[in-house]
Each structure stands twice: as structure tokens, then as C-alpha cells.
Amino acid sequence: MKAKEKQIAVLPGDGIGPEIMAAGLEVLAAVSQHSDFSYETEFLPFGGRGIDEAGDPLPAQTLAAAKQSHAVLLSAIGGPKWDNSPRRPEQGLLEIRSALNLFANIRPTRVSDIQIDRSPLKADIVRGTDFVIVRELTSGAYFGKPRSLKTDEAIDTIYYSQNEVERIMRIGFDLADQRKKKVTIVDKSNVLATSKLWRQVAASVAAQYPEVEVEYRYVDAMSMAIISQPANFDVVITPNLFGDILSDEAAEITGSIGQIPSMSAGEDGPNLYEPIHGSAPDIAGQGIANPISMINTVAMMLRESFQEGELAQVIEAAVDATIKDGTVTPDMGGKFTTQEVTNHIIDYIDGAYTK
Ligand code: IPM
Ligand code: MG
């Protein structure tokens, strides 16, 4: 028997989800063949598939298996089919984040030299971009109560406790400490009470990290700065809703949101890994979805949950080489299919071990 048998809960989801998940798992199988990393996968219904198969976007069986796993690998959920369903697929995502206490969502934006020309920004502006958005994921506007929708009024609530802010600050400052030692705190403290708390707690945590440079920005100004000076940032710590918006904007400066992985982590229990993009129902089933986000997501899982940094690096190098070759899907300006891109990446992986 191999030394380490890791259990991975696989949630292929909806739209392009199953297609890119297949690509990610092919790549995982390919690198694992060259190492003693060994794992088992369990496929579970989730999102729209959960509604169709079990009447629930997060079926009890899926949550139970996810809790037992060493890591949860998710691709994407949702689609027009469930627009009028009493419970939407997205609800499953919010529930699993909450049930696994995954309060810290890590979304990297890195533009490597070979990607510079793919960015919609000018080369001089985008060169050197390498930052991480640390998005609070289980509180704020997404979870605050009361919450209601009537025909003539609707209520959402933004709530943050000091403890919730403090723990996400620690994740962000610890990360900055291992990186370029700069934190950008994003909020709307000129208007929102929760943002005032956000900034106060940030300042008290910052005092414990004298090595880390701290700056504060309002979210509106930050949305400008992300495109005017993206190379200035290292770790960006932001509440749930702002993080949702800013991370899509940040992803776009790499040239395609179809490349960006993410990790959601809590204090204990398995982490959840997912591309940051959606299920792209408009291109589902055509075999042209960009598999790179899912493949990068697999690399992130190997590094962060399984301490297999070397395997992650082999995957990322293979992805870089493939992008450099121009073997990319239409969203990145190429003409290749999901399977062709995946095969190309696997060829590079196999090549890395036969040298
Ligand atoms: C994301 C997504 C989700 C979010 C949706 C699908 C609920 O946009 O992961 O960024 O808003 O968190
Ligand atoms: Mg989003």
C-alpha cells in the first residue's frame, strides 16, 4: 500500500463544471503517476446537480462526505435551468462554505512574463503583478440577518463581529509576512459601520506585525488602483462582498478569468478548492472551456492541503509552457479544445519526468 492515501471530495457541479473537473483530474492522475502521492476521489452531487438528484443544492450526503475528506475539489455551479428553482445552486455554495467554516478565501492574481501580452492592460502597468486577495467568506453581506424579500421592499444586512474580522486579518498578515510584506486593507469606512470596525481591528492586528507595511483604501478607489497600478499590491484583505467584486476584476487583468484558482480555508477540517469563475452555461458541452483554472486549482490543492509543492510546481510549469506555446482555448485567443489543452499540459508533465 502506498504511504498516503488522501480522500478528495469531488464536486463537478454544473455547466462547464464537469468538463473542466475531468481535465483537472486527468492532470492530477498524470502527476501522481510520477510520485508516491496517492488519493481516492468520491464524486458528489452539488449545486444544480444536487437539486436535480437530491432536491438540495447541498445534499446531506455531499456535506457528510466533504467533512470526512482531506480536501474538497469543486468546479463551478449554477445555470439558467435553476433560475426559478425555490433553492438556487449558489445557496449550496454558501452553505458548504459556512458548514465547513471556510472563512478565508485566497484568490491569487499573478501575471507571469509570458502572460503580459494577454492582459487587457498595458505591459508597463501589468508587469510584475503578483498579489493575493484574502476575502472574508462566511460573514458580511452574504450572511447577515435580517434578510428578506417582499414585493415592495427587501433587506440585506452586513454584519461583522470583531472576532470574524480579527481571524481574517491574521490570515492576511501571516500571508504577507511570507510574501512581499505589504497589506492593503480594503473597506468603505467613510460610510459603513462594519468597515469602521474592519479598519480598527486591522490597525490593532497590524501593530503585531511591525515588519509588514499597511495601507488602507476605500473599495471604490481600490477598484481603480487594481487596474492602474496592479503591481503595487501584495496581500489585499477585504470583506466578503467587496472581495467577490474585486477578485473578478483582478482575475481579468491576467487576460482570462479562466486561469485563476482559489482556496477557502478555515481553522480545521478540509479546505475547499475551486476556480473563481462561474459555470459558463453558454459554452457548456462544447468542449471549449478553459481547463487551466481547474488545473491550477488542483496544483493549489496539492501544495496547500497535501504539502506536495513539487507536484504543484510541475503542473504550473506545464501550464506556463502550454500558454507560451499558444495552445489555449478561445477565451485566451486560441483555437484549441479543453481536451487538447489538457493533453498538451500532460505531455509537458510527462516530459518533466523523462528528462
Ligand atoms: C464566487 C461566486 C459566488 C460568490 C457565487 C456563485 C455565490 O461569485 O465564488 O466568487 O459570490 O461568492
Ligand atoms: Mg464571484
- Residue 124 bears catalytic tag: no
pLDDT range class, residue 279, cuts 50, 70, 90: very high
Q: By three-state DSSP, how is residue 228 classified?
A: helix
Q: How far apart are CA 48 and CA 32, in angstroms?
A: 30
* Closest approach atom of ligand 1 to CA 93: 7
4: pLDDT strictly greater than 90? no
The whole-number pLDDT of residue 1 equals 46
10-56: pLDDT as tens digits? 999 999 999 999 999 999 999 999 999 999 999 999 999 999 999 99
The whole-number pLDDT of residue 209 equals 98
Q: How far apart are CA 68 and CA 247, in angstroms?
A: 29
- Residue 244 bears catalytic tag: yes
- Residue 220 bears catalytic tag: yes
Residues pairing with 155 in the sheet: 148
Within 6 A (CB) of ligand 1 lie 90, 93, 244, 276
Q: Which of 6, 39, 188, 348 is catalytic?
A: 188
Distance from the alpha carbon of residue 244 to the mean position of ligand 1, in angstroms: 6
Question: Is there a contact between 264 and 274 (Cβ–Cβ < 8 Å)?
Answer: yes
Q: How far apart are CA 133 and CA 272, in angstroms?
A: 16
Q: How far apart are CA 242 and CA 221, in angstroms?
A: 12
Q: Which of 39, 142, 160, 273 is catalytic?
A: 142
Question: Is there a contact between 334 and 288 (Cβ–Cβ < 8 Å)?
Answer: no
Q: How many CB atoms lie within 10 A of CB 355?
A: 4
* Closest approach atom of ligand 1 to CA 78: 6
pLDDT range class, residue 355, cuts 50, 70, 90: confident
Q: DSSP assignment, residue 212?
A: S
- Residue 350 bears catalytic tag: no
Distance from the alpha carbon of residue 143 to the mean position of ligand 1, in angstroms: 13
The whole-number pLDDT of residue 256 equals 87
The whole-number pLDDT of residue 195 equals 98
Distance from the alpha carbon of residue 211 to the mean position of ligand 2, in angstroms: 32
Give the mutation target among 11, 75, 88, 90 for probing the ligand 1 site: most ligand atoms within 8 A of CB.
90
**Residue closest by Cα to atom 4 of ligand 1:** 244
* Closest approach atom of ligand 1 to CA 137: 12
The proportion of the chain whose per-residue pLDDT surpasses 90, expressed as a percent, equals 94
Question: Is there a contact between 19 and 289 (Cβ–Cβ < 8 Å)?
Answer: yes
154: pLDDT strictly greater than 90? yes
Whether the model clears a pTM of 0.85, i.e. scores above it, the answer is yes
pLDDT range class, residue 287, cuts 50, 70, 90: very high
224-270: pLDDT as tens digits? 999 999 999 999 999 999 999 999 999 999 988 899 999 999 998 99
Q: Could you tell me which residues come within 8 angstroms of residue 160 by beta carbon, excluding any fewer than 6 positions away?
A: 136, 139, 140, 194, 197, 198, 239
Distance from the alpha carbon of residue 355 to the mean position of ligand 1, in angstroms: 41
* Closest approach atom of ligand 1 to CA 77: 6
Q: How many CA atoms lie within 13 A of 137 on its CB side?
A: 28
Q: Which of 234, 244, 331, 348 is catalytic?
A: 244
Q: Which of 2, 113, 117, 220 is catalytic?
A: 220
- Residue 218 bears catalytic tag: no
Q: Which amino acid is at 103?
A: F
Distance from the alpha carbon of residue 334 to the mean position of ligand 1, in angstroms: 27
